[in-house]
Chains A and B, each alone.
Chain A
Amino acid sequence: MTWLPEAAPGETPLDRVFGLTPAAYARFRALYASLWDPTVIDPAVLELCRLRIAMLLGAEGERRVRCSAARAAGCTEAQVSALAGWPESPLFTDVQRLCLGFAEQYVLDPHGFRDEDFTELRVHLDAPAIATLTLAVAVFDALARFRLALDVDPVADRPEVVSGPHPDAASLP
């Protein structure tokens, strides 16, 4: 539970904290939803990157959230369970592995990127997909840090599939 002594109205802990700045929160929700466009990048890839980033940063609450858009795109609980060992696991496609490697490098040491990393990305993804992947990884990094620093955990104590993300959602888990 957050250490802030005030709360905004809202359904979820994130609503009640981020909602203290309602205009910024509304635009954050719009940004978040804009990332999950299946015509640009596979939502299952984004979901795996989001959960891996949460794992790397120790954001346990974020790790319990499952997005229905990613489930619909084929992201499985078996993959989620295998995320810690993604480089060796047979459960991930080449593109998923490439994007997970990108997300890890981005969060932990962006100075470690080499030109060849982007050359390989370009083999599998077009420029809109790489740009969106980068935006998404950045937003996931930011949200995980925000949750951790202000103690904003989703209330579920086990993995929970939530509907969305939706462009007009008034709430985020």
Chain B
Amino acid sequence: MGRLEPPPGALTAFDHSPHAWAAFNRYYGTLWSEGLVDQPTKEVARLRNARVTGCGICKNLRFAGARAAGLDETHVARIDDDFAASDLPSRWKLAIRWADALITAPDAVDEQLRRDLLAELTPAEIVELTATVTIAIAFSKAAVAFGAPPEMPVLEVPTPTPDGSVR
């Protein structure tokens, strides 16, 4: 994050706004650790956005909860332009389609995608997945805007929690 340096002793530039940053982390952590949708499904959608948005940080982070629940690098490699023809589970393909719609045309969600979502997920789960992906879309742009490195090694990190604790 070279264009806006963190305050002394802090990790991110958002620490300049500690009250709002804490509120963001409580929200994001709630979606990830107190949610209804399994973590691999949300992680697949998050990683799809990271690839499409081209965030060098987001696309190389792996949330530990999703890994522990079975999402491995073989799966992650298939979250590409040929995902539809891959052997990824249909639920994950649906998450990718939903992420693509939210990124590129949230105002033009087609009927078939709506039907497929309603067949796979409860309304509350759809809301949670949508909230998770839209905030991931929006915040991946921050890393890009602040001057994220184009590439970094794949790194497993704790799944976000509302209070910042590690699970």
Contact = CB atoms under 8 A, between A and B. Distances in A.
Interface in A52-80: 57-59
B144 A145 contact: no
A18 B127 contact: yes
Interface stretch (B39-47, B61-69, B82-90, B134-142): B134-142
Contacts of A130: 4, 13, 16
Interface size class of A (residues with CB under 8 A): 35 or more
Contacts of B135: 138-139, 142
Contacts of A139: 24, 135, 138
B14 A135 contact: yes
B71 interface: no
B128 A21 contact: yes
Contact of B123 (A5, A30, A34, A113): A5
Nearest to B13: A131
B162 A135 contact: no
A20 interface: yes
Nearest to B103: A145
A128 interface: yes
Contacts of A118: 3-4
Contact of B26 (A30, A113, A141, A148): A30
Contact of A138 (B22, B34, B141): B141
A40 B131 CA distance: 26
Looking at chain A's contact residues, is the secondary structure mostly helix, strand, loop, or mixed?
helix
A76 B15 CA distance: 31
Contact of B27 (A3, A31, A141): A31
Contacts of B35: 21, 24
Interface in B89-115: 101-102, 106-107, 109, 114
Interface in A1-59: 3-6, 17-18, 20-21, 23-24, 27-28, 30-31, 34-35, 37, 40, 57-59
Contacts of B162: 27
Contact of A58 (B20, B107, B123): B107
A143 B102 CA distance: 11
B145 A24 contact: no
Interface in A91-118: 105-107, 110-111, 113, 115, 117-118
A27 B134 contact: no
Interface string B128-157: 101100110111011011110000000000
A125 B36 CA distance: 40
Shortest Cβ-Cβ A-B pairs, 3 listed: A131-B16, A138-B138, A148-B106
Given A17-B127, A149-B106, A149-B107, 20 more contacts: A20-B124, A23-B30, A27-B30, A30-B26, A31-B24, A40-B17, A110-B53, A110-B144, A111-B54, A113-B3, A128-B17, A130-B13, A131-B16, A132-B20, A134-B145, A138-B138, A138-B141, A141-B134, A142-B137, A150-B127
